[in-house]
Amino acid sequence: MTAARKSAWIKKIARDAGFDGAGVAPAVRPGRADHYRQWLAEGRAGRMDYLHRHVEHRTDARLLLPGARSVVVVSHNYHQPAPPEPADGQPRGRIAMYAWGRDYHRVVKKKLHAMIGRMRETLDEPFEARACVDTAPLLEREFATAAGIGWIGKNTMVIHRTLGSYFVLGEIVTTLDLEYDEPANDRCGQCTRCVDACPTGALDRPYRMDASRCISYLTIELRDEISEALKPHMSNWVYGCDICQAVCPYNRKAPVTAEPDYAIREPAPYPSLTDLLSWRQDDYREKLTGSAMKRATLAMLQRNARVALDNLHRRRTP
């Protein structure tokens, strides 16, 4: 099979596996590591120490898989309309949409392994392949934009013209020689809605994020106390934040996910804050089995719930 035919066929089996987009990028993104190093040097990663490790690997997939030539990037839509908030008067928090259903790491990995299985059955040449979702030291958005999955918006999300940005990314790094796609063009234009809407100033410059100020970082990644200066700006988010995506015009008509595994599971999307504060380790384990929310410990979720309660209280008593 020619490189072009292999690429077309791999994109077809990505659709068969349930992915919404697929593209192919070269295994190396020269020059981009400098941008990333500068971002780290400016302290924008906060306490995410893991981002300081394997810096060279992040733009060179050959260091993840010797002999790698291509990175197949897939997108998986998790967008769904929010149900109405229960009108029971209970103080409630908010959970970011990507964590409403089953943990996307598991969902996407399973589909990527199914794709690799089909590739092994069908392609009559020897090759190596490695599936990655989020946790591998790879600048996924860099490879996604190079593979034509979407452009990197001013909110730093990968955005697709019709799919919007409510999708997660996954990759198959492979030694196969494939035809590469063209990068997607930036369509943000004069719009600055995301930058204007970010409540903590994390998007301090278009296309640049100070992650140490992002509500997503503060609720999911930061294990210490949250700075008093930022707490009042966090509203009632207890896990992640969707504000800079919710205001993006490209998400207005985003299609609804077809993935059954992303169906909403309790306590998403509006957890009762008093319930959350009463959880013990057993409740945490039982209620969050198979959920991406397990990235935050129980102590972190309860810390976030206290901040959310304070903010709701402040909203009611001006």
Residue 243: name its binding partner from ligand SF4, ligand B12, none (Cβ under 5 to 8 Å by kind).
ligand SF4
179: DSSP letter = P
Output 30 or 89, the one with its CB closest to ligand B12. 30
Tell me: cis bond preceding 199? Omega within 30 of 0 counts. no
Among 169, 178, 248, 296, binds ligand B12 (CB under 6 A): 169
94-95 vs 158-159, strand pairing mode: unpaired
DSSP code of residue 220: I
> What value, to the nearest 5°, has the Cα angle with vertex 296 and ends 295 and 298?
130
Check binding of 202 to ligand SF4 (CB under 6 A). Answer: yes
Provide the residue type at 180 as one letter: Y
Instruction: Tell me the one-letter amino acid at 46.
Output: G
Q: Which residue is nearest to ligand SF4 (CB)?
A: 153
Diameter of the chain measured on Cα atoms = 69
35 binds ligand B12 (CB under 6 A): yes
Nearer of residues 98 and 180 to ligand SF4, judged by Cβ = 98
Catalytic (active site) residue 282: no
Q: Is 233 in the site for ligand B12 (CB under 6 A)?
A: no
Residue in 313, 147, 151, 129 with CA at minimum distance from that of residue 235: 313
d(CA 2, CA 271): 52
* Opening angle at CA 153, ends 155 and 113, nearest 5: 100
Per-residue x/- track, 253-292, ligand B12 (CB under 6 A): ----------------------------------------
d(CA 102, CA 185): 32
Fill in the DSSP letter of residue 213.
G
- Between 204 and 223, how does the x/- string for binding to ligand SF4 read (CB under 6 A)? -----x----xxx-------
Measured at CB, which residue is nearest to ligand B12? 240
Sole window of 35-43, 64-72, 114-122, 228-236 interacting with ligand B12 (rule: CB under 6 A): 35-43
Among candidate residues 103, 134, 196, 224, the one labeled active-site is 134
Find which of ligand B12, ligand SF4, none residue 72 binds, CB within 5 to 8 Å per kind.
Answer: none
Question: Residue 78 CB, nearest distance to ligand SF4 (Å)?
Answer: 15
Which residues carry out catalysis?
134
Chain residues binding ligand SF4 by CB under 6 A are 153-155, 159, 188, 191-194, 198, 200, 202-203, 209, 214-216, 241, 243-244, 247-250
